[in-house]
Amino acid sequence: MGNFLLGVAVTLLALAVFGYLAFKLFRRGPLTFEIDGFYTHVADGDVGPFIRDVQADVPEAAECRLDDRMSCSIRDAVQCHNQGDLPDCNVLLLSGGGQWGAYGAGLFDTLARRSADELALPGIGVITGISTGSLQALMLMVALDPAQTPDMRRFALDRLIWGYSPERESDVVKHTKLIGVPLYGSAAGTAPLRARIVEALMPGGDERLVSAIGNSSIDGFVGFVEAERGVFRYADIKQLVNSAPDTAAAAQALAAATMASSAMPVFHQQLRIAGSDARPLALYDGGVRRSIFFDRAMAAVDQEVRKQMQGHALPRTADGISQEAYARTYEEAAPTVYVVRNGPTVRRSDDALNTTSGPLKNGQRGYDLLVNESEIGAIAGLRLNNPYGRILLTSADRYDTFPSTVGENFKQDEMFKPAFMARLRDLGRHKAERDEGPWWPLSKIEQL
């Protein structure tokens, strides 16, 4: 009996040692960027007036600041919109969505091909991007810039399409799936994504696209969450480029910001950015906190629009200014806000959940439902701070029902499925070409 117990103990010890060594050997450490001066070009995001009310009893809660680069850019866009001798300067908000970003890529590519000068969406002055939308933002700062040549705009769009056209999933991530999280520390390693972003920006070492981003007439911002404080932050894209010592370093800084915006906890390898101005900080996917810069961008738009309205002679009645007149003047003074939801707004039905169970399948479904509600709430919340302006939305809904023979309209647990991404690119084409176009308006706040 003694020998038996000793044998069991030795076996258990050996298994424990083996498990520890396997964990140390296979576990992914954080993917770390060394970018000097990175945080010099990063600002804390304002939570907005409504969330500040909710957090009113939090000691030392953040105060509202509307004097940073993004708010100044939006102020300039509103002022530009209200000057008759200048083109409209509108705002484009790009949501997260991972491989679903192929929809936005196909959409803008087709809109550009249908235009006379490769300009998919004229009059854009400010672009914000989260997660997959952050990669789109980099390319669209050039593709939507009227100061660039048509050839340069086409080059940017071609790189955008290339980024969302992998030949295999391993071109983007090393996917070991959720079952491997206890061993690897995440469901996917993201070193391939880092290389792919840099190659998208500098194909074969070509510096033209990165330089064009730095010189764009459009201001761009990428959002992410600082893990330590749980604070939503965003980086100024042009400043990251223009402060870098060379183009290669600028591409790395852009890749760092984009990957910070895409680093979904548990699913993706942890992302850290260090530099001479800060110790290494872990940064999370901005979509964890908000899918678009809805609070901050809309608060800035609303503030500037109301300033502009002070110069308008609003029609008055015996009871004062009518709400109808106020709403009409507000709409005229506000730039149009375009919103791209890189994904569907409802989840596909899955009746198999009624007959099967399991922690991974249930966990994935729960995650999908929660993320979907967060995305929809964020977009609907745009109206809270912009009650009467034009807000136009497009989404990847109907991906599984629109007429197409391209790729496949389904996926399982793939993070980046080439055939599914091909179908999404074709969905973007379809919505750009359909009679009613890809955009539809959000309803305005009811006039009470």
Q: What angle do CA 260, 216, 70 make, to 5 degrees?
A: 55
**CA-closest candidate to residue 163, choices 135, 191, 189:** 135
Q: What is the CA radius of gyration of the chain?
A: 24
Q: What sign results for the dihedral spanned by CA atoms 277, 279, 282, 288?
A: negative
User: What is the pLDDT, as a whole number, of residue 296?
Assistant: 63
Do residues 222 and 234 make contact, with C-beta atoms less than 8 angstroms apart? yes
Residue tagged active-site, from 95, 131, 134, 395: 131
H-type helices in 144-203, by residue range? 150-163, 181-184, 191-201
List the chain pLDDT tens, one digit each, 448 residues: 666 566 655 565 555 554 444 444 456 788 899 999 999 898 887 766 677 788 778 877 666 555 667 777 777 877 787 776 666 789 999 998 999 999 999 999 999 999 989 999 999 999 999 999 999 999 999 999 999 999 999 999 999 999 999 999 999 999 998 888 888 888 889 999 999 999 999 999 999 999 999 999 999 999 998 988 888 889 999 999 999 999 999 999 999 999 999 988 888 889 899 987 678 889 888 776 666 665 566 777 777 787 777 766 665 555 556 677 778 888 888 889 999 999 998 887 877 778 887 777 777 777 677 677 777 777 888 888 788 889 999 999 999 999 999 999 988 889 999 999 999 999 999 999 999 999 999 998 875 3
Paired with 283 in beta bridges are 226, 271
Angstrom distances, CA of residue 287 to CA of 326, 350, 380: 34, 24, 15
In whole angstroms, what is the distance from residue 183 CA to residue 160 CA?
34
Angstrom distances, CA of residue 168 to CA of 5, 46, 55, 192, 436: 50, 39, 45, 11, 34
Angstrom distances, CA of residue 286 to CA of 65, 303, 366: 20, 24, 19
Do residues 45 and 223 make contact, with C-beta atoms less than 8 angstroms apart? yes
Whole-prediction pTM: 0.88
Residue tagged active-site, from 236, 285, 295, 426: 285
Do residues 337 and 439 make contact, with C-beta atoms less than 8 angstroms apart? no
Do residues 208 and 218 make contact, with C-beta atoms less than 8 angstroms apart? no
Q: What sign results for the dihedral spanned by CA atoms 116, 121, 127, 128?
A: negative
User: What is the pLDDT, as a whole number, of residue 297?
Assistant: 65
**CA-closest candidate to residue 127, choices 115, 111, 138:** 138
Question: What DSSP letter does each residue of 163-178 carry, written as one string?
Answer: HT--SSGGGT-EE--G
Query: Is 216 noted as a catalytic residue in this protein?
Result: no
User: What is the pLDDT, as a whole number, of residue 86?
Assistant: 61
Q: Residue 254 has which token pair?
A: 């852009």
Burial of residue 405 (number of CB atoms within 10 Å: 0-12, 13-18, 19+)? exposed
Query: Is 134 noted as a catalytic residue in this protein?
Result: no
Do residues 337 and 121 make contact, with C-beta atoms less than 8 angstroms apart? no
Angstrom distances, CA of residue 120 to CA of 15, 146, 432: 59, 10, 10
